[in-house]
Structure 1
Amino acid sequence: MPFHANVYKILVASPGDVEEERKAIPDIIAEWNHINSEIKSVVLLPIKWETHSAPLVGGRPQAIINEQVLGGCDMIIGVFWTRIGSPTGVSESGTVEEIEWFIKNGKPVMLYFSSKPVDAKKLDLDQYKSLRSFEERMQKIGLTGSYENIIDFREKLFRQISMNIDRIIHGAPTPILTQKEATAKSEELRKLINQGRVYIEDYEKDGVVKSFIVKGDTIAIKEDLKRMGGRWNKSLGGWIFSKTKEIEVAEFIKMSS
């Protein structure tokens, strides 16, 4: 039966070395629609420049894509592995320029960086170096996620799409925080939750803090922590997360207390 729904467009952005992920994203969105569309009165449409833009004579190529595609999209999925892409004359690559546009306009950004093994013989070192620099910048404002394989990618992206749609439905899209704001919010939330039975500690490895551990009485929320990307470490006695997840996890623990 027909039903009324709001339609949200999701831009798929990536360099050319993540073809498997680009093919998987429309399937993930279709699965989300199958499960949620009628219940939530929302339909999601995947948008790709190769299917939703037309060639025009003159002008900067990326600017043409921006004009034809970006303005009509509501959120963006960016995926990277070893490459950042080709410079556009304005930014490091077309994908980066698109992501920066969404950040500037306060729209949801979902970024994923693959941790799949890399063949060093085939690696473009300049591309890889630029990509790592970009990833570090995005980490500072809490926008990055990682995945180990295509199954891991599908699960994490499905979950993040659901979270972003719920925020939009309730009129509270995720704000893009500055590094200073993100640090302050993390510290404030950590102080609050560390007064309870579940608490957070930084996890240092090789002299660098890139992760944190959720410890304490986590039995009641273990499935939620797992769905949010946590990995149980028996020897450490807690759930390990990337630092980029700290605000999200801390807010969940605060609400669950």
Structure 2
Amino acid sequence: MIASPGDVNDGRQAALHAISSWNESNTRTRGVVVVPLRWESVVPQAGDHPQAIINAALLENADALVGIFGSRIGTATPTAISGTVEEIDHAIADGKRVHLWFSTAPHPNDVDVEQLAALRKFRDDLAQRSLYGTYANADELIAKVWAAIEGDIAALGLGTPEPVPTRSGVKLVVQSGSDNISEQDSRGRLRNRVRRFIDVRNEGDVDADELTARAGDRPANILYEGDRPRTVHAGQLQRFRYDLSFADGIPTSVEVKWAEDGELHERVFDI
């Protein structure tokens, strides 16, 4: 179950992406499908409080819960300070696997200070009885939800992997791309902006650990957070965005470093 207040749509989409990509990489060989349960899929129904309907439709059918918070605690219910907190408390009481992450991204300018204060109090109380995590952006949350799924599958005793006689190892594919984005300036005029990125996909069957990436023909790394090591799981894609100054040209190569089963590797990819 994906539980959250309504201000973290990017986080909810990241959790969905992690589940979808995990299924694409593992369902056929491991015989397990991870089904995302969300309030958006609940059929409208009368006769009970909305939270009770959501609990019956989703929480009671969930093996694990992913909770995501931004700057709001959520709307109160008859029995809890928010629907999300009620879902979390019920899941913990039922002995379900529960994973909680709090966003460290800057809060919006119109943040509700009462909601933010309530969220911080909940987080501080939670620290006395649980271990929670944080995430800075959607890409980081995708990797963390993926890791949580792996832990849940093992803890629940689901999906024994088929014997694999040989492993292909890490197989990285590096590609460049761009998106055209329309946005308004301070005068309300539309303008187009190009958002460029480098995609690093691991098409192998072994995780690429401690992976970093940098534009190979630049003295300084122009890839956003490219120097921050991260794990690119088998079948997973990691996207590095970058901006160009007037003096820069589009990079022609990318230098990638990673660890595979504890052994360090590096390679320059032409793009």
Quickly name the TM-score band, shorter chain normalised. 0.5 to 0.7
Amino acid in structure 1 at the alignment position of 2:141? F
Write the distance in 2 (CA, Å) between the matches of 1:31 and 1:170.
18
Identical-residue share of aligned pairs (%): 38
Write the distance in 2 (CA, Å) between the matches of 1:26 and 1:170.
20
| Contact residue 13 and residue 78 of structure 1 kept, 8 A | yes
- Cα distance, 1:39 vs structure 2: 2.7
Gaps of 5+ in 1: 1-10, 172-221, 229-257
Write the distance in 2 (CA, Å) between the matches of 1:73 and 1:105.
10
- Cα distance, 1:58 vs structure 2: 2.8
**Corresponding residue for 1:45?**
35
Write the distance in 2 (CA, Å) between the matches of 1:170 and 1:63.
29
**Corresponding residue for 2:22?**
32
For the pair shown, which has the larger CA radius of gyration, 1 or 2? Answer: 2
Given the alignment of the two structures, is residue 137 of structure 1 paired with residue 128 of structure 2, yes or no? no
Given the alignment of the two structures, is residue 112 of structure 1 paired with residue 75 of structure 2, yes or no? no
**Corresponding residue for 2:52?**
63
Secondary structure class of the residue paired with 1:76 = strand
* CA 96–12 in structure 1, closer or farther in 2 if over 3 Å, else same: same
Given the alignment of the two structures, is residue 154 of structure 1 paired with residue 142 of structure 2, yes or no? yes
Gaps of 5+ in 2: 160-208, 211-228, 232-271
Indicate the structure with greater strand content.
Answer: 2
Write the distance in 1 (CA, Å) between the matches of 2:158 and 2:13.
30
162-171 or 134-143, which moves further after superposition?
A: 162-171
Secondary structure class of the residue paired with 1:90 = coil
Write the distance in 2 (CA, Å) between the matches of 1:57 and 1:168.
34
Q: Which runs of 4+ in 1 moved over 3 A?
A: none
| Contact residue 109 and residue 143 of structure 1 kept, 8 A | no
Indicate the structure with greater helix content.
Answer: 1
The C-alpha deviation readout for 1:171-217, integer Å capped at 9, x for no partner, is 9xxxxxxxxxxxxxxxxxxxxxxxxxxxxxxxxxxxxxxxxxxxxxx
* CA 137–114 in structure 1, closer or farther in 2 if over 3 Å, else same: same
Q: How many residues align?
A: 165
Write the distance in 1 (CA, Å) between the matches of 2:148 and 2:157.
14
**Corresponding residue for 1:92?**
81
Secondary structure class of the residue paired with 2:16 = helix
TM-score by length of 1: 0.60
CA-based RMSD of the aligned residues comes to 2.2
Write the distance in 1 (CA, Å) between the matches of 2:5 and 2:131.
18
